[in-house]
Structure 1
Amino acid sequence: MAKPHNPPPEGWDRHSILGEIRRQNMTLTELASRADMRPNSFGHVWTRTVRKAEAVIADFLETDPAELWPDRYPITSHRIYDIRKHGPGASQKRVAPADRAEAA
């Protein structure tokens, strides 16, 4: 377990994470067996959030899980659209002012 010498400048993706794990002579199956987890849960980490598997991979690479999966962190518990974060959404029920002007 060694910290990566040069993390990817454009950020981590699936291939760079797998490449770094393999450079250190490790496999996801071996990581799963060391963590007493099923290997399938490590295979799902690319498409689903599996916090325990993410933590094991990040620990092996000696980095923060938020650095490997920035779109999944920080952990939020709400599923409500945050207007401050994403901006105002377009309502399907609201009629745009331009449409009213053309209709009149």
Structure 2
Amino acid sequence: MKDWHKADIKAALEKRGTSIAKLTQEAELKKGTFNNVFRVKYPKAERIIATALEMQPEQIWPSRYRVKEGETTNHEIEVRDVSERTEALKADKTPIERMVCLSASDYYHATKNPHFAAHYGGVERIRAELFKLLDEWHIEINQ
């Protein structure tokens, strides 16, 4: 299993309305400090980023938290409903094309990252939400 790419982490944070810079500032650390997390193990930054994404550090950086075969971690993956996020975005009056882009990004990421997919109920669930949004967008365009 591969670690998340730097761009995927930044995009996931952006989806949640935050950034590496904001997290660094909130943690009262020097500007640029969190960028080290992309090169080397940095448990404090990893925990802060993972918390902002409602995940565990080992889900984002599995190579840094290898579990030996036969062992398990004490973390359960809480399955989140992707449709709840869609409803929250609708409540915030997010444009449909933005929701489609976010959903497409989730789908792509889910196909590459099994932990991410599991966190949101599987690739098919994410795909179904994407197609539901595409249908809504299509209806909106043709009205």
TM-score (norm 2): 0.42
Does the 8 A contact of 2:24 with 2:31 survive in 1? yes
> What's the counterpart of residue 107 of structure 2?
none
Asked if the contact 1:54–1:65 (Cα under 8 Å) also holds between the matched residues in 2, the reply is yes
Question: What's 2:32 paired with?
Answer: 40
Secondary structure of the 2:62 match is: coil
Structure-2 residue corresponding to 1:22: 14
In the TM superposition, residue 19 of structure 1 has moved relative to its aligned partner by 0.5
Aligned pairs (5 A) from 1:66-85 = 66-74=58-66
CA distance in 2, matches of 1:51, 1:39: 17
The DSSP-based 3-state class of the residue aligned with 1:19 is: helix
The equivalent residue for 1:97 is none
Give the AA of the match of 1:68.
I
RMSD of aligned residue pairs (Cα, Å) = 2.0
> Aligned equivalents of 1:62 and 1:24: distance in 2?
10
| Larger RCO of the pair (alpha carbons < 8 Å, separation 6+) | 1
Identity of paired residues, percent?
Answer: 27
How many residues are paired up?
66
Aligned to 2:113: none
Secondary structure at the aligned position of 1:71 is classed as helix
Could you tell me how far apart the structure 2 residues matched to 1:73 and 1:28 are? Answer: 21
- Structure 1: 5+ residue stretches without partners: 1-9, 76-104
| TM-score (ref. length: structure 1) | 0.56
Structure 1 match to 2:49: 57
Equivalent pair of 1:28/1:39 in contact (CA under 8 Å): no
